[in-house]
Every structure is written in structure tokens, then in C-alpha cells.
A and B are shown apart, each in its own frame.
Chain A
Amino acid sequence: MRVGVVTFPGTLDDRDAARAVEYAGAEPVSLWHGSDDLKHVDAVVLPGGFSYGDYLRCGAISAKAPIMKSIIIAAEHGFPVLGICNGFQVLAEAHLLPGALTRNADMHFLCTDQILKIENNTTAWTNGFSVGQEIVIPMKNAEGNFNCDDATLHELESEGRVIARYVGVNPNGSRDAIAGITNKRGNVVGLMPHPEHAIDLLTGPSKDGLTFFTSVLNAMVK
């Protein structure tokens, strides 16, 4: 199993994501934003960071990168894609996922160990969880406030496409406390918190994050 990890200029968590892929038992493959070559990977992670410094809008410039053209085409055919934090912002800007990630309600960058509740375990990236399971993974962003119009929100909720919600105080003002969503097909997932920082107890608050990466291996085996 080969899982691609994309590096844009300003990507920060690419090496972390590659480590998580390796911990899950797959081979991480480094992908460069400026090339459209997916190097025959079986799935792709768009890691966190501040690609292009978050200038213009978070993820807006990266969404136009050559690698994204290939990812968009592949995703439409069911190829698993996980966007974490800035990666989620890129997916929203690329219209692979609906909505937008806006400035946190309190205007501050927030780094915290966040409790999430898993709402959907049928996606390529969440099938290892059970519905209702509570997990703890780090969250760190300044623009993680998920917003969309009422119709989109109704669609997401009624189709069960919210994959995880914040538990307790809503940390950033996201509508319906949404932490992550998926597309209709369940192969593309965007998540604001960082599962790649919760893969062992030595460096993270839990090992809960690893399940996102083992889930995609399950999905590929099936």
C-alpha cells in the first residue's frame, strides 16, 4: 500500500503525516505540489501547515496546484483523499468538499487536545471507529471555523456526512460543532484536528489518530 503525502510551499506536517502512514503499516510517498504525478499511490493525504502563508485565503493558492488537478480527477473516481487542517482548507477551495473554514470565533490561534465524537464510520478514513466513539487528538489552527449556507448544512446533516464533531465547548465557532466532513461518496474527508499528532503516547495525547490511517488500509483491502 502506498499513501501519498503532498508538500506545498509552506506545508508543515508532511513529515508527521508520513510517519503516521508508516506507523499504520503503509509506505509513505512524497508528492510535490508542482508535479501532476501521483506516483501510483493508492490514497493521498494533504497535510497541515500554512501553504503559501495562508495568503489570499487559506488553501486558495494550493487548490490550483498541478498535483491538485490529478487529485481532483482521481477523487471523482473514488480515490481516498484526507485533508488535515490546511489540507481540509485546500479541499474546500478545490470544491471537493463544501463549505469554508473561516477565522476562529475568538480570533486566536488555538492549540489544544480536543475531544471529538465520531459520527460516521463508513468513510475510507473512519471505518476503524465506531459511531459515537469519543477520541482525543490535537487541534491547532487559527482558521478552523467551519461555515456553509443553511442548505449545505442541511444536506451534510441529513446525508450523515459530518464525520466528527467537537465535544464540550465549541472551540472555534464551527456550525453544528463540525470538526470534519466527507463527500457524498465517502472517499474524500476533511478534518480540522490533526490525527497525525496522536499516533503514540510519547508525542501525543493518545493513539486515537492512528485509526484514520489504518482505516484507509482497510478500505483498500476491501
Chain B
Amino acid sequence: MALDTVTNAAATPDFELPFEQLGLKADEYEKIKGILGRRPTGSELAMYSVMWSEHCSYKSSKVHLKQFGEKAPKSDALLVGIGENAGVVDIGQGYAVTFKAESHNHPSFVEPYQGAATGVGGIVRDILTMGARPIAVMDPLRFGKADAPDTKRVLPGIVAGIGGYGNCLGLPNIGGEIVFDETYAGNPLVNALCVGVMRHEDIKLAQAHGAGNLVVLFGAKTGGDGIGGASILASETFNTSKPTKRPAVQVGDPFAEKVLIECSLEIFAEDLVVGIQDLGAAGISCATSELASAGTGGMEVQLEKVPLRDPSLSPEEILMSESQERMCAIIEPSKLARFMAICKKWDVTATVIGEVTSGDRLHITFNGELIVDVPPRTVAHDGPVLTRPMARPDYLDALKPVALDPIESPEAIKAAVLKLMAAPNIADKSWVTKQYDRYVQGNSILAQPEDSGMIRIDEQTHLGIAISTDANARWSYVDPYNGVKLALLESCRNIATSGAKPLAITNCLNFGSPEDPGVMWTFAETVRGLADICLEMGLPVTGGNVSFYNQTGKVAILPTPVVGVLGVIQDVRTRTSMSSDQSGLELFQLGNTDDNFSGSEWAHLHGQMGDHAPTPDIDHETRLVKVLLEGQQYFAAAHDISNGGFAATISEMVLKSGVGATIELPAEYIPGGVTAGLFAETPGRVVLAVKSSDVDALQKLADAHSIPMHWVGKTGGDALVINGATIPLTELRTAFTETFPKLFG
């Protein structure tokens, strides 16, 4: 077809464009015609289709997400809030930290290695775009049943992709999660979090200001990969009857990204850009329209100047391509020569493709012909807003309480603990994490399997940050409002257990199809719960990501709101590890245990879900965090109790240190007896290892904050002994470490 110019579009109003193939609905197409006063050109349609896709426009979630603004707690820490590429938080001493998580779920199912790799690449560019040096990554992952054939296909590829890309960028991978549940079969979740650091004065924004300033594209050349990735892949439920969508997955080049990072940081250091935006979902369509929309004027772009890997690409394809490792900068003409010199030093291709204008339109020409003439805001920010129907799903009324036989005899305790520790959700994850570099940059203070990942920010002052990501999808399934609150509380507890103070949060909300009223209801409840608890805890939401359509046919994934909490630690030398190799330490449990097994791994192992999530006790958790932060000098080790209950926590501690422990759980004080004491996942609990000489001081501190403190045992020996059940560490270690190699080679 000849070039579809604006003139041509105006002259041929009845020409039918394939808007449905690009993922647009009929009413959305009509709205575009209304905005333009004519039919769109093919290029304009390409832009609107990707920018109005669910992935880019948040059209189904917007009406709910605005609660994060309405309920935002007062915070001095937030320097840049929701809406930019990533939020920015003040951590003191002039440092600003930016962090964000994004999903790359669908591409990772289609092409595990490249999907996961480019997920890392995309989030790292978001962080870089804020002006920050990326300093660490984390990856919360979800898979179908561990022994399912498709899990064996996707897991090794996803892990290798995350490692292959992140390792090559020189970013330590310091944490994350790996959870298996059959609802993720066909919909694995690959969430990638990145954190970066900069000085306050170095924050950059995605804005195109100043008529006459130049629009410069730099980084990799544009190819045919990832065309329509956002609209086609991320915004539509998979349907096995359609042809494979592999061409919509981008292909990553981590070396190009590493060079782009160093090149960009050098450019930032010399203050050479007015505004900057990375090219991710929706590529040039997104970068140009967002930069122009956030700026004061219009923009003119000569699309034929875009350097191409594949010269046969049409203008529509150039606009939609999601080729990786590209950035778009707005530069004053006087600084262009210096900008180009730095790009040349790093062998990075850089091309002036247009300029900022004093008008209010985004004009894109191709070889002199006008092919796009739009108000940029209508593309970038005025996408459709949907109020989807919602209905409390029926399954909630069919939930049954957990019914399990109690565990009493030493033989039964031993067998149960070994079974739990070998379960894929609890078992040792080092088969995965040893494929990630956790040492690079030399500032990793704590990394997986510790409660949080911790990075030193300043070598002189010892200032550091901690990050933890958490989600308990089964609690979100039985109670979406409280489930996400519990995830946030757990994340805060993880941060404080390591010795850092929670400061701000981000989130990555993974759900099924928004066209299902039940899914939409659980999503709305989740957002309401998260906004409420952030207000109650005084924690600002710095940004987030929504991933819908994680659904195969009628089966949606468990609602999986991943919460990431950022904490600050004034002196990383005071951090607390999850284990200590000293014998003779006294072991305590902070917090009480109850007998609710709903959503627990123990119930899951017996094929049960349960019927109610624990009630979040914000007051208790807040006081617990205070004890954890004020008591750091007394802790030889501290480890949060969560997935797998006390049994998993104490097993992880003794296996990490190689020093055993003798445990006496006082069954009579625990509702549900020893079974609950070992396997219930009651929130608000932490296990501490303390020197005898520090016990009195710790007891005073716990009393002062009204936190129950229970003596549960002592470290020493080469076995874990629980109420008379002796489990040699060698046996426990075998159970714990064999699962992943057996499953994945």
C-alpha cells in the first residue's frame, strides 16, 4: 500500500483500517476519529492502538488506581511520585533512590529466555531514565505446578534469561520469590524490580521543553522485533487456536544496554539533557507522545531518520517496534556536539530525529510526507477509561475451612518437617539464585535467601537500603482486601528484621482478565486494601504496574499483588542476618501463633485452601517493627516467620548456619497445638537468636512495646530437635536441597 498520509486519510474517510487486528475496539476507533475529525492514518492508528492498549493506558485499572492519590499519606520522603518512569524517594544525606517493578509475564510464556531477559532490560531502563545508576535487581516469579512439563520448559529459560541479561549488566540480583501453583500453568509471572541511586540534583524527567530543542534517539537500531508487543501480547488472553505470537516478543542485547547505561550516566553527569525517556512498550509512539505530552509545546519527528536494523520496515512498524536498548533525549542544540562525543566514545548510535516546536501537535513525517498529526496528550494520557463491571466471585462462598489431622508424635513431627522442607515452595532455591550474580558492584550486604536484600549506598557513611518483595496469593484469593495488606506487612517485617526502616512501597499487580467481573472485583478490593494500609502505615506509593489477562481460557491466576518495600538503614554494619553459627544462643519467637491454616503451605500440601485470611493487625506489626529496629544490638540472628510457618523459619536458620537447635514448642499455649506452632502462618512473628546476656534487655524492650516474647529453644548440635523429634541436619539438608536439582536438572 502507498504511504497513508494525513492528506490521504482526509480524502478517503471510508477506507477501512484493521483496528481490530491491532487490538482496538469499535468504540475506541470511533473516539479516535472524533479526536482527529477524520479517520486516522495507518501510522496514527498504530500509535493509538499501542498507547491505548491495556498495558500502556491502564484503562481498566485507572478508576481504581486513583485511590493511591486520594489516600496518599503525607510524606516528606517522596521526591517524584506516580506518573513518571519510576518514583523517587529521599533516603537522606542528599541521596535519592528510585525503584519500580514491572511484569513481563506474557512474553516470558511465549519465549521464556528473551521474555524474562527483556523484562529485566525494560525495568533497568526505567530506573536509568530517572537519572539514577541502577544498583540491584530482584525477581518475584510464579510458575505452574513444579513437576508439570510446561514448568520444566519455562522455568529454566526464564531463570537463564534473568541471569543472562542481569549478570551481563553488572547488577547484583539480591532477592525475589519463586512460588508454584497450578493456576500459573500457562501464565507464569515474571516480575522484575530494579533499584537505582542518584543525588537529589540529578533527577531527570520525561519532558520535552523548549522550542528548538532537539529530539535525539540513541542506543540500538530499530528492528522488527516486538511489534505490537504491548497491545497484542500483554493485553489479550491467550487463545491456543491463534497462530504463535513469537514475533511480538522482543530480543535483548544486554551488552548494548550495559554500554547504554554507562553512556547515559556520563551524559547525565555533564547535565546535557532537558528530558529523557526510554523506549519500552510502544517504542517510538510512546516516547515521542509522552515526552511531548508532558512538555510545553509540540514536536516534529522525521521518522525516516530512525536508524533501522531492517530497512524494509514500514512507518507503522517503526512506530510500534519494541526493539530494546533505545533511549530518546531532548537536548539543547548547543549541547549536541558534546552529547554526540560521549555517544561516540561508547560506540552508541545517536541520531537527531526531530525537534520540539512551539505548537501543540505531534507531527511525524516520513520522507517529507505528513503521516501523523495528533494532539500528543490524546495519545499518551487521554486513553479510554473503563468502569468495568465487578461482582464478588461465587467461589468465595464455596470456601471450606482447613481440616487436617494434628501432628503429635516425634515420628510424625519429623516426617512432616521433612515433607514441608522438600516442598517446591519451601525448598532451597539456590539452583535458581546461583545463576544470578549477587556480588557485582561490591555493595551487596544481604542477598537471597535473607529476609531482605540490602545494598550499601555510601562507603564512607555506611548508609544503605533494603528491599523486600512479597505476595501471598492464596490469602489474596480468599480475601483480596486483607491479602494485600498482609503482603505489605510481611514486606515491612522483612525489612525491619534485617535492620532497616520501611520508607516507601511499589507494587506489581498481577490478575486475570478484567473482562471477568469476578477478577475485576478482586482487583478493586486489592487496590482498596493497598491504598488503605499505605495511608494507615504512612508509606507513600511510589509507582506500580498492573498486569491483566493472566488467564488461560476461564482459569485466572490467583490474584497476585506483589508488594515491594524499600527501607533505609543508617549503618549497614549493624544489619542482622537470618542465621548465626554460634552455639548456645537462646531462641525466641516474637508474636503469638493462632490456629488458622487458611492459605498456608501446610494446607496447600494437603490440597486445601481454607476459608479466611488472618486479620491484619497493623498496631501489633507497627510495635513489632519498633522492637526489631530498637533491638538490633541484641540479635545474633533474626528471621521472619511466613511461608511454611515456624518449622520453615527455624529449618532455614539451622541449615544456613550449619549449627542445629533444640526446640520446645509449648503446645498448651498455642491454639491448635504443636501443629499450629510449626505450620500455621500467623503473621506478625519473628524468630530471634540472642546471647543469654542480652535476654533481659530484650525482654524489657518487648514488654515496653507490648510484644509477646516466647522462649522456644537454644542453638547447638548437629540436629534440629523439635519436641523430642530429632532431625539430623544432613537429613534435613538433603530434603531441602534435592528438590530443585531433581526437578530441573
Interface residues of A (CB under 8 A from B): 9-10, 12-13, 15-16, 19, 34, 49-50, 52-55, 108-112, 138, 140, 142, 194, 196-197, 199, 202-204
Residues on A with C-beta less than 8 A from B433 are 111
Interface residues of B (CB under 8 A from A): 160, 163-164, 167-170, 253-256, 258-259, 345-347, 433-445, 456, 459, 572-573
Smallest CB-CB separation from B173: which chain A residue?
Answer: A111
Q: What's the Cα separation between A199 and B255 when bound, in Å?
A: 28
| Residue of B169, B436, B440, B459 touching A13 (CB-CB under 8 A) | B440
Indicate if the CB atoms of B435 and A9 lie closer than 8 Å. Answer: no
Question: 21 pairs across A/B with beta carbons < 8 Å?
Answer: A10-B168, A10-B258, A10-B259, A13-B440, A15-B441, A16-B442, A19-B459, A50-B255, A53-B253, A53-B254, A53-B256, A53-B258, A109-B164, A109-B437, A111-B433, A111-B436, A140-B437, A197-B442, A203-B439, A203-B445, A204-B439
| Residue of B160, B436, B439 touching A138 (CB-CB under 8 A) | B439
Residues on A with C-beta less than 8 A from B443 are 203
Residues on B with C-beta less than 8 A from A19 are 442, 459
Q: What's the Cα separation between A55 and B439 when bound, in Å?
A: 23
| Residue of A55, A108, A111, A199 touching B437 (CB-CB under 8 A) | A111
Known pairs A53-B254, A196-B442, A203-B444; A109 contacts B259 (CB<8 A): no
Smallest CB-CB separation from B572: which chain A residue?
Answer: A202
| Residue of B169, B439, B442, B445 touching A140 (CB-CB under 8 A) | B439
Indicate if the CB atoms of A55 and B440 lie closer than 8 Å. Answer: no
Residues on A with C-beta less than 8 A from B164 are 109
Q: What's the Cα separation between A142 and B165 when bound, in Å?
A: 13
Q: How far is the CB of A209 from chain B (nearest CB, A)?
A: 11
Q: How far is the CB of A45 from chain B (nearest CB, A)?
A: 14
Indicate if the CB atoms of A109 and B435 lie closer than 8 Å. Answer: yes
Residues on B with C-beta less than 8 A from A15 are 441-442
Residues on A with C-beta less than 8 A from B442 are 13, 15-16, 19, 196-197, 199, 203
Q: What's the Cα separation between A54 and B256 when bound, in Å?
A: 12
Smallest CB-CB separation from B431: which chain A residue?
Answer: A108
Q: What's the Cα separation between A204 and B445 when bound, in Å?
A: 8
Smallest CB-CB separation from B464: which chain A residue?
Answer: A202
Q: How far is the CB of A178 from chain B (nearest CB, A)?
A: 21
Q: How far is the CB of A7 from chain B (nearest CB, A)?
A: 9
Indicate if the CB atoms of A9 and B434 lie closer than 8 Å. Answer: no
Residues on B with C-beta less than 8 A from A55 are 255
Residues on B with C-beta less than 8 A from A10 are 168, 255, 258-259
Indicate if the CB atoms of A50 and B440 lie closer than 8 Å. Answer: no
Known pairs A53-B168, A203-B442; A111 contacts B434 (CB<8 A): yes
Q: How far is the CB of A192 from chain B (nearest CB, A)?
A: 14
Indicate if the CB atoms of B346 and A9 lie closer than 8 Å. Answer: yes
| Residue of B256, B347, B445 touching A202 (CB-CB under 8 A) | B445
Residues on A with C-beta less than 8 A from B572 are 202
Q: How far is the CB of A141 from chain B (nearest CB, A)?
A: 9
Q: Which of A12, A50, A53, A111 has its CB near the most chain B CB atoms (within 10 A)?
A: A111
| 11 extra interface residue pairs, beta carbon distance < 8 Å, beyond A13-B170, A53-B255, A111-B437 | A10-B168, A10-B258, A15-B442, A53-B254, A53-B258, A54-B168, A109-B160, A109-B435, A202-B572, A202-B573, A203-B443
Indicate if the CB atoms of A49 and B170 lie closer than 8 Å. Answer: yes
Smallest CB-CB separation from B433: which chain A residue?
Answer: A111
Q: What's the Cα separation between A196 and B443 when bound, in Å?
A: 12
Residues on A with C-beta less than 8 A from B346 are 9
Q: How far is the CB of A56 from chain B (nearest CB, A)?
A: 11
Indicate if the CB atoms of A50 and B168 lie closer than 8 Å. Answer: yes
Indicate if the CB atoms of B170 and A12 lie closer than 8 Å. Answer: yes
Residues on A with C-beta less than 8 A from B441 are 15-16
Q: What's the Cα separation between A12 and B170 when bound, in Å?
A: 5
Residues on B with C-beta less than 8 A from A52 are 255
Residues on A with C-beta less than 8 A from B438 are 111
Q: How far is the CB of A67 from chain B (nearest CB, A)?
A: 14
Residues on A with C-beta less than 8 A from B254 are 50, 53
Smallest CB-CB separation from B438: which chain A residue?
Answer: A111
Nearest first, the 4 closest Cβ-Cβ pairs linking A and B are A53-B255, A12-B170, A16-B442, A197-B439
Q: What's the Cα separation between A78 and B164 when bound, in Å?
A: 37
Residues on A with C-beta less than 8 A from B169 are 12
| Residue of B253, B255, B436, B456 touching A9 (CB-CB under 8 A) | B255
Residues on B with C-beta less than 8 A from A49 are 170
Indicate if the CB atoms of B439 and A111 lie closer than 8 Å. Answer: yes
Q: What's the Cα separation between A12 and B572 when bound, in Å?
A: 23
Indicate if the CB atoms of B435 and A110 lie closer than 8 Å. Answer: yes
Smallest CB-CB separation from A55: which chain B residue?
Answer: B255
Smallest CB-CB separation from A16: which chain B residue?
Answer: B442
Q: How far is the CB of B391 from chain A (nearest CB, A)?
A: 46
Q: What's the Cα separation between A13 and B347 when bound, in Å?
A: 20
Indicate if the CB atoms of B255 and A108 lie closer than 8 Å. Answer: no
Residues on B with C-beta less than 8 A from A142 are 167
Residues on B with C-beta less than 8 A from A108 are 160, 434-435
Q: What's the Cα separation between A53 and B445 when bound, in Å?
A: 27
Residues on B with C-beta less than 8 A from A16 are 440-442
Residues on A with C-beta less than 8 A from B445 are 202-203
Indicate if the CB atoms of B259 and A9 lie closer than 8 Å. Answer: yes
Smallest CB-CB separation from B442: which chain A residue?
Answer: A16
Q: What's the Cα separation between A196 and B459 when bound, in Å?
A: 15
Q: How far is the CB of A46 from chain B (nearest CB, A)?
A: 15
Residues on B with C-beta less than 8 A from A204 are 439
Residues on B with C-beta less than 8 A from A194 are 439
Smallest CB-CB separation from A19: which chain B residue?
Answer: B442
Residues on A with C-beta less than 8 A from B439 are 111, 138, 140, 194, 197, 203-204
Q: What's the Cα separation between A221 and B255 when bound, in Å?
A: 39
Q: Which of B441, B442, B443, B444 has its CB near the most chain A CB atoms (within 10 A)?
A: B442
Residues on B with C-beta less than 8 A from A12 are 168-170, 258, 440
Q: What's the Cα separation between A55 and B254 when bound, in Å?
A: 11
Q: How far is the CB of B152 from chain A (nearest CB, A)?
A: 15
Q: How far is the CB of B579 from chain A (nearest CB, A)?
A: 14
Indicate if the CB atoms of A9 and B347 lie closer than 8 Å. Answer: yes
Smallest CB-CB separation from B253: which chain A residue?
Answer: A53
Q: What's the Cα separation between A9 and B261 when bound, in Å?
A: 11
Q: How far is the CB of A36 from chain B (nearest CB, A)?
A: 16
Indicate if the CB atoms of A50 and B167 lie closer than 8 Å. Answer: yes
Q: Which of B169, B439, B456 has its CB near the most chain A CB atoms (within 10 A)?
A: B439
Q: What's the Cα separation between A194 and B258 when bound, in Å?
A: 20
Residues on B with C-beta less than 8 A from A196 are 442
Residues on A with C-beta less than 8 A from B170 are 12-13, 49
Smallest CB-CB separation from A197: which chain B residue?
Answer: B439
Q: What's the Cα separation between A109 and B433 when bound, in Å?
A: 10
Q: How far is the CB of A205 from chain B (nearest CB, A)?
A: 9
Residues on B with C-beta less than 8 A from A53 are 168, 253-256, 258
| Residue of B255, B347, B434, B573 touching A110 (CB-CB under 8 A) | B434
